[in-house]
């Protein structure tokens, strides 16, 4: 029984071919394509409003040099939100529950922010490893601690997204199993459990969006300290 709970996180295969590539590619088909008309439909208008609000929230504290990342980070956030929400549908697979995929997003983008900081302002980038006013005996220790915390950032990004989505999926499956088992024996308790399951599903939709936003927001904060 415990093994079956974790089967949902296994990458599906068809004739020995992993379908995670299809699960990653398919969401792009769902996005409305831009039009050359002067007046857009409601869906395109809502999409444009959402993207504009997102850019204002993330890139307002960043200087002009960091605005070059707007397209990349906005596309990443919309992509993560789509993957997370589609993974809540029945008989679907959530690629963002795979730590390897999340690390593949986190490590290159974090490394790019570090390289930009070392190229544009190496003194300030290295100065982050040693806070101002540090006592002389503590300098070697603090440099080691700050260096470790710097390299832990991409791991924290990937683990945070993976852990939150995995925990939500497991909790939904546990409560759904409990409601199914209790239905023949205690229908009233089963109905209450199903109500809790519905509310938890709504919460997981919010978590799916929030976690994608936090992922991109932290990347923008790393970028802000290096541009």
Ordered DSSP codes for the chain: -HHHHHGGGSPPEETTEE-HHHHHHGGGGGSPPP-SSSS--HHHHHHHHHHHHHHHHHHTTS-GGGGGGHHHHHHHHHHHHHHHHHTTSTT---GGG-HHHHHHHHHHHHHHHHHHHHHH-HHHHHHTTS-TT--GGGHHHHHHHHHHHHHHHHHHHHHHHHHHHHHHHHHHHHHHHHHHHHHHH-HHHHHHHHHHHHHHHHHHHHHHHHHHHHHHHHHHHHHHTT-
Q: Is the per-residue pLDDT at 23 higher than 80?
A: no
Which whole-number Å values give the CA distances from 209 to 28, 40, 113, 217, in the listed order? Answer: 17, 25, 24, 12
**If 0-12 CB within 10 Å is exposed, 13-18 middle and 19+ buried, where does residue 207 land?**
middle
What's the number of domains the chain is made of?
1
Residue 134 lies in a domain: yes
Residue 217 lies in a domain: yes
Per-residue model confidence (pLDDT) at position 14: 67
Residue 89 lies in a domain: yes
Per-residue model confidence (pLDDT) at position 108: 92
When pLDDT is averaged across residues 73-101 and rounded to a whole number, the result is 84
Contacts of 115 (CB under 8 A, 6+ apart): none
- 147/138: higher pLDDT: 147
Residue 120 lies in a domain: yes
Tokens, residue 48: 């444009």
How many residues does the structure list for the chain? 227
Per-residue model confidence (pLDDT) at position 190: 84
Confirm whether pTM is higher than 0.85: no
Confidence of residue 107 (pLDDT cuts 50, 70, 90): very high
Residue 17 lies in a domain: yes
Full 3-state SS string of 48-80: HHHHHHHHHHHHCCCCHHHHHHHHHHHHHHHHH
| Percentage of the chain modeled with pLDDT above 90 | 4
Confidence of residue 5 (pLDDT cuts 50, 70, 90): low
Per-residue model confidence (pLDDT) at position 30: 76
Q: Judge contact between 44 and 34, C-beta under 8 A.
A: yes
Residue 193 lies in a domain: yes
When pLDDT is averaged across residues 143-149 and rounded to a whole number, the result is 82
Question: What average pLDDT does the chain have?
Answer: 80
| Domain enclosing residue 73, as ranges | 7-225
Q: Judge contact between 216 and 51, C-beta under 8 A.
A: no
């Amino acid at each position: 029984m415990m093994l079956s709970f974790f089967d949902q996180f296994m990458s599906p295969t068809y004739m020995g071919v992993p379908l995670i590539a299809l699960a990653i590619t398919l969401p792009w088909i769902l996005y409305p394509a831009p039009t050359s008309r002067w007046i857009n439909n409601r869906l395109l208008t809502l999409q444009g409003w959402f993207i504009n609000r997102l850019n204002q929230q993330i890139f307002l504290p960043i200087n002009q040099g960091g605005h070059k990342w707007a397209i990349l980070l906005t596309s990443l956030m919309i992509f993560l939100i789509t993957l997370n929400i589609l993974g809540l549908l029945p008989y679907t697979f959530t690629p963002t529950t795979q730590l390897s995929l999340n690390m593949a997003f986190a490590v290159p983008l974090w490394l790019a922010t570090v390289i930009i900081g070392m190229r544009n302002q190496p003194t300030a980038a290295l100065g982050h490893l040693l806070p101002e006013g540090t006592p002389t005996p503590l300098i070697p220790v603090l440099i080691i601690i700050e260096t470790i915390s710097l390299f832990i950032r991409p791991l924290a990004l990937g683990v945070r997204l993976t852990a939150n989505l995995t925990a939500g999926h497991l909790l939904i499956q546990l409560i759904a199993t409990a409601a199914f088992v209790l239905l023949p024996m205690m229908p009233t308790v089963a109905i209450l459990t199903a109500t809790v399951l519905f509310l938890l599903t709504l919460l997981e939709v919010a978590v799916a969006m929030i976690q994608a936003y936090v992922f991109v927001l932290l990347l923008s904060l790393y970028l802000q300290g290096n541009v």
